[in-house]
């Protein structure tokens, strides 16, 4: 049975109105930005960076995390770059990276002259698992940059244990998992340093572009501060930023400005409610998927509470007459946000191949990618949007399901 021609063949769409735009940056953020201006007018100094708003923002973030130190920087890529730089690893050594991630989580290692070793994901997951981590180790492994993908926490504890025993430094890339919990603790608290992006589409955002470095170790904190600001020796008792002779080493400038920190501060007050709303939506999608015989929920680990960035659902590809990609394209054509070509598999990036040391194959990650698709959504989705997602899936599968 089918209820009308598929939109991909020119039929009417299930979702006629555009899906609701996120509008993360709202009146409260505008008010906070105005505050930065008004403070500067009152104080008679133009706003810059490393001021009051960065302090408020990073303090609030550390409260949210349950302690630690944080430095606001210019992008997620910069945050990963700085975290890796802090470990002072000799070029030519190996760095393990996640099988599925953003280029910003990998290229800082290339830029610093390291060889890339791509670990596979755990079965039925986009995230690296402890066994896959172990398999990726070489005698030259010095660090690992591990992404909690799509808001799902990695099974991080056993990985940290292995890494510690071998003196390997771990960076958690939390760009897609702000506020996610692993065994009751926020991600970012497990590795040596955590890096994350706070660009506009991330769950915690500070404006168009931004990043955050977070750690438990105070020495790393001061080192990151210097690495992110031309080697300034902030810890010197008589530190004077005008005395450029005091710099510790040559370093670039990755500062985040006060306007961005003011936006981040404002979003942080709502971060938990944003995450809760997103969790509510993904739970509803999963429950509604009972109406589908082809698409099914991918459950999270029992000991974790994700911070959903996108929502991965499984596709019973054996039940389809077409490829998963064709199926996903047809669902997208109904007016639903889906990425049918999920291209964040590191092993498939040709431009990276010459920097990769291992055999490039991550079969678990590929298999999972080929049997899932990612639903894109935001915290403004209501029940009506969830219904349209499910109706689209059910409509498309009625066309493409194999006859028994
Ligand atoms: C977005 C993202 C990055 C890059 O962050 P930018 O702020 O865009 O530089 C790095 N890693 C992951 C996992 C990301 O999602």
pLDDT (0 to 100) of residue 1: 41
Ligand 1 center from residue 214 Cα (angstroms): 15
Atom of ligand 1 nearest to the CA of 80: 10
Ligand 1 center from residue 175 Cα (angstroms): 6
Express each pLDDT in 276-317 by its tens digit.
999 999 999 999 999 999 999 998 889 999 999 999 999 999
pTM surpassing 0.85?
yes
Atom of ligand 1 nearest to the CA of 77: 9
**Residue 163 scores a pLDDT above 50:** yes
SS (H, E, C) 11-45: CCCCCCCCCCCCCCCCHHHHHHHHHHHHHHHHHCC
Domains and CATH numbers, the chain: 27-268 (3.40.640.10), 271-400 (3.90.1150.10)
Express each pLDDT in 16-63 by its tens digit.
999 999 999 999 999 999 999 999 999 999 999 999 999 999 999 999
Measured CA to CA, the distance from residue 248 to residue 253 in angstroms comes to 14
Ligand 1 surroundings by CB, under 6 angstroms: 75-77, 101-102, 104-105, 147, 173, 175-176, 197, 199, 211
Ligand 1 center from residue 290 Cα (angstroms): 33
Q: Determine the residue of 98, 121, 197, 342 to mutate for testing ligand 1's pocket, defined as the one with the most ligand atoms within 8 A of the Cβ atom.
A: 197
% of the chain beyond a pLDDT of 70:
99
Helix or strand holding residue 314 (H, E): strand 311-315
Q: How far is CA 216 from CA 62, 119, 194, in A?
A: 10, 26, 9
pLDDT (0 to 100) of residue 386: 96
Ligand 1 center from residue 133 Cα (angstroms): 21
**Residue 380 scores a pLDDT above 80:** yes
Residue nearest to atom 8 of ligand 1 (CA): 76
SS (H, E, C) 109-153: HHHCCCEEEECCECCCCCCECHHHHHHHCCCCEEEEEEECHHHCC
**How many CB atoms within 10 Å of residue 156?**
26
Express each pLDDT in 236-266 by its tens digit.
988 998 899 999 999 999 999 999 999 999 9
**Residue 3 scores a pLDDT above 70:** no
Q: Which of 204-213, 344-353, 356-365 has the lowest mean pLDDT?
A: 356-365
Q: Determine the residue of 72, 73, 77, 256 to mutate for testing ligand 1's pocket, defined as the one with the most ligand atoms within 8 A of the Cβ atom.
A: 77
Phi first, then psi, for residue 296 (nearest 5°) are -140, 160
Say what angle helices 383-400 and 324-333 make with each other, to 10 degrees: 130
C-alpha triplet 257, 172, 354: angle, nearest 5°: 95
Q: The tokens of 163 are what?
A: 């890494």
Q: What is the mean pLDDT of the chain?
A: 96
Query: 34-38 — which CB contacts under 8 Å span 24+ positions?
Result: 35/262, 36/258, 36/259, 36/262
Measured CA to CA, the distance from residue 245 to residue 248 in angstroms comes to 9
Atom of ligand 1 nearest to the CA of 211: 7
Which residues have C-beta within 8 Å of that of residue 360, sequence separation ≥ 6?
118, 347, 353
Q: Determine the residue of 72, 76, 188, 254 to mutate for testing ligand 1's pocket, defined as the one with the most ligand atoms within 8 A of the Cβ atom.
A: 76
Alpha helices in 347-382 (DSSP H): 363-370
Nearest Cα to Cα of residue 269 among 56, 52, 71, 79: 56
Measured CA to CA, the distance from residue 151 to residue 186 in angstroms comes to 12
Ligand 1 center from residue 29 Cα (angstroms): 22
Phi first, then psi, for residue 212 (nearest 5°) are -145, 135
Ligand 1 center from residue 343 Cα (angstroms): 14
Tell me if 95 sits within 8 A of 142, measured CB to CB: yes
Express each pLDDT in 127-156 by its tens digit.
999 999 999 999 999 999 999 999 999 999
Ligand 1 center from residue 266 Cα (angstroms): 21
Measured CA to CA, the distance from residue 78 to residue 105 in angstroms comes to 9
Atom of ligand 1 nearest to the CA of 101: 13
* Beta-bridge mates of residue 305: 181
Ligand 1 center from residue 213 Cα (angstroms): 12
Give 273's pLDDT tier (boundaries 50, 70, 90): very high
Ligand 1 center from residue 101 Cα (angstroms): 8
- At 395 the three-state DSSP class reads helix
pLDDT (0 to 100) of residue 350: 95
Residue nearest to atom 5 of ligand 1 (CA): 76
**Residue 2 scores a pLDDT above 60:** no
Tell me if 188 sits within 8 A of 148, measured CB to CB: no
Ligand 1 center from residue 104 Cα (angstroms): 5
Which residues have C-beta within 8 Å of that of residue 107, sequence separation ≥ 6?
77
């Amino acid at each position: 049975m089918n209820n009308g021609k598929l939109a991909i063949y020119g039929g009417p769409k299930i979702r006629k109105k555009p899906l609701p735009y996120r509008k993360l940056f709202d009146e409260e953020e505008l008010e906070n930005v105005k505050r930065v201006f008004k403070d500067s007018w009152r104080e008679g100094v133009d706003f810059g960076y490393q001021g009051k708003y960065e302090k408020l923002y990073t303090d609030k973030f550390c409260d949210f995390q349950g302690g630690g130190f944080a430095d606001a920087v210019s992008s997620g890529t910069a945050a990963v770059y700085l975290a890796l730089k802090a470990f002072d690893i000799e070029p030519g050594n190996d760095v393990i990276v996640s099988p599925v991630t953003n280029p910003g989580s990998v290229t800082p290692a290339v830029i610093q002259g390291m060889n890339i070793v791509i670990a596979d994901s755990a079965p039925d997951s986009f995230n690296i698992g402890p066994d896959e981590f172990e398999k990726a180790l070489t005698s030259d492994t010095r660090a690992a940059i591990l992404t909690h993908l799509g808001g799902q926490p990695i099974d991080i504890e056993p990985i940290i244990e292995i890494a510690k025993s071998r003196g390997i430094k771990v960076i958690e890339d939390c760009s897609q998992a702000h506020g996610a919990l692993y065994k009751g603790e926020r991600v970012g608290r497990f590795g040596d340093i955590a890096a994350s992006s706070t660009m506009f589409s991330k769950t915690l955002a500070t404006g168009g572009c931004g990043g955050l470095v977070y750690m438990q170790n105070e020495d790393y904190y001061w080192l990151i501060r210097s690495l992110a600001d031309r080697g300034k020796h902030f810890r010197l008792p008589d530190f004077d930023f005008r005395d450029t002779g005091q710099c510790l080493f040559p370093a670039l400038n990755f500062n985040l400005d006060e306007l961005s920190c003011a936006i981040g501060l404002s979003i942080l007050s709502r971060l938990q409610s944003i995450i809760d709303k997103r969790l509510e939506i993904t739970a509803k999608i999963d429950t509604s998927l009972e109406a589908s015989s082809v698409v099914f929920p991918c459950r999270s680990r029992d000991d974790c509470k994700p911070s959903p960035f996108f929502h991965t659902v499984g596709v019973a590809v054996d039940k389809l007459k077409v490829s998963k990609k064709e199926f996903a394209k047809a669902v997208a054509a109904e007016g639903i946000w889906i990425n049918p070509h999920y291209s964040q598999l590191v092993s498939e990036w040709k431009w990276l191949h010459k920097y990769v040391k291992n055999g490039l194959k991550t079969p678990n990650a590929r298999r999972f990618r080929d049997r899932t698709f990612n639903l894109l959504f935001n915290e403004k989705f209501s029940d009506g949007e969830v219904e349209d997602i499910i109706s689209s899936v059910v409509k498309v599968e009625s066309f493409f399901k194999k006859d028994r």
